[in-house]
A and B are shown apart, each in its own frame.
Chain A
Amino acid sequence: MMVSCEKAANICDKYQYKEATVWEKIQLKFHLLMCKTCTKHSKDNKKLTTLCNQARLAVLSEEEKKKMKENFSKLK
């Protein structure tokens, strides 16, 4: 039942992308009851997810960047 901090952090990451299984979530919750360090990390991790959603980040796709590089290198 008690998982390592490393495993807990991994579940916590998966949790941010809604990819943790029910069993993993139980393991994580149980670990967090015992471990202050992971509780802090888990809180920050969640906050990072919130910030990323809030910022509504936009990125260029790899393809678009490749095209940009090509256009760009023609000029040099």
Chain B
Amino acid sequence: METHNLHPDKWVDLYADYLFNYAVTRVNDSEIAKDLVQETFIAGLKSAKNFKGDAAERTWLISILKRKVIDHYRKKNSKKGKAEVRMTYSSQTDAEGDWLEERIADPNSNFEIDALENEELGLAIQACISKLPKKQAQVFVMKTIEGMETEDICNALEINASNLWVMIHRARTGLMGCLNQNWF
């Protein structure tokens, strides 16, 4: 069986965005998500000696992050009286009093499925981005995800526009190939 080694020096560059995406979809707050990612790296470093090498580094880190997310919710709910189901009543004034029935999920709604699929998609894209050469990934992220202007990226990275487009092109082609099996 293939064994894996840990390379903590590369964690932030390789997995920070991937883990951040995972966390942010679960806690819905980018500050908290950022903290959880940081805690995950620290916990990972502390328990590195327990790493058996039978999972890939990223999978192992995600499993730590999962615990961190659960802990986060536990802490949040542990304050007395908070661990209860809360329900907001419908503000519709013309409701006929069947308030519980009115709160039931719409069985025809695709919202949950879409949300799940989009999360999976986000992680897949993030994983593919991390496989790109560093410079290409950087340019692609700045342009596509952060939505920066071409000129600003060129100034920040000290490259010219045609350089930028070459890297964008390579990154996009790489991503298409990487996402190909499942998403195209």
- Interface, chain A (partner B; CB < 8 A): 9-10, 13-14, 16-17, 19, 44-45, 47-48, 51-52, 54-61, 64-65, 68-69, 71-72, 75-76
6 A-B contacts (beta carbon < 8 Å):
A13-B172, A48-B172, A48-B179, A58-B24, A58-B30, A68-B37
Contacts of B55 in A (CB 8 A): none
Tell whether, in the assembled complex, residue A59 and residue B17 are in contact, meaning their CB atoms are under 8 Å apart: yes
- Number of B positions contacting A (CB below 8 A): 37
How distant is the Cα of A69 from the Cα of B41 in the complex, in angstroms? Answer: 10
Bound together, the chains give a CA A61 to CA B17 distance in angstroms of: 9
Partner of A60, one of B34, B45, B168: B34
Q: Provided the pairs A9-B169, A55-B118, A59-B17 are in contact, do residues A48 and B145 lie with their beta carbons within 8 angstroms? A: no
B21 → chain A, closest Cβ, in Å? 6
Whether A51 contacts B12 in the complex (CB less than 8 A), given A57-B21, A58-B24, A59-B17, comes out as no
In the bound complex, do residue B176 and residue A57 qualify as a contact, i.e. CB atoms below 8 Å apart? no
Known contacts: A52-B145, A60-B34, A65-B12. The answer to whether A72 contacts B176 by CB under 8 A is: no
| B41 to A, closest residue via Cβ | A72
Min C-beta distance of B110 to chain A, whole Å = 13
Contacts of B41 in A (CB 8 A): 68, 72
Shortest CB-to-CB span from B172 to chain A, Å, is: 6
For residue B159, CB closer than 8 A to chain A, the reply is: no
Contact of A14 among B11, B125, B165 (CB under 8 A): B165
Task: Report B3-40 residues with CB < 8 Å from chain A CB.
Answer: 8, 11-13, 16-17, 20-21, 24, 30, 33-34, 37-38
Whole-angstrom CA separation of A33 from B63 in the bound complex: 49
Instruction: Verify A47–B184 contact, CB threshold 8 A.
Output: yes
B83 within 8 A of A: no
Set of chain B residues within 8 Å of A9, measured between Cβ atoms: 169
**Residue of B150, B165, B175 touching A48 (CB-CB under 8 A):** B175
CB-based closest 5 A-B pairs: A55-B122, A55-B121, A59-B17, A57-B145, A69-B12
- Residues of chain A within 8 A of B17, CB atoms compared: 58-60
Task: Give complex CA distance A19, B161 in Å.
Answer: 12
Q: A14-B165, A65-B16, A76-B45 are in contact. Are A59 and B121 (CB under 8 A)?
A: no
Name the B residues within 8 Å of A16 (CB-CB).
172
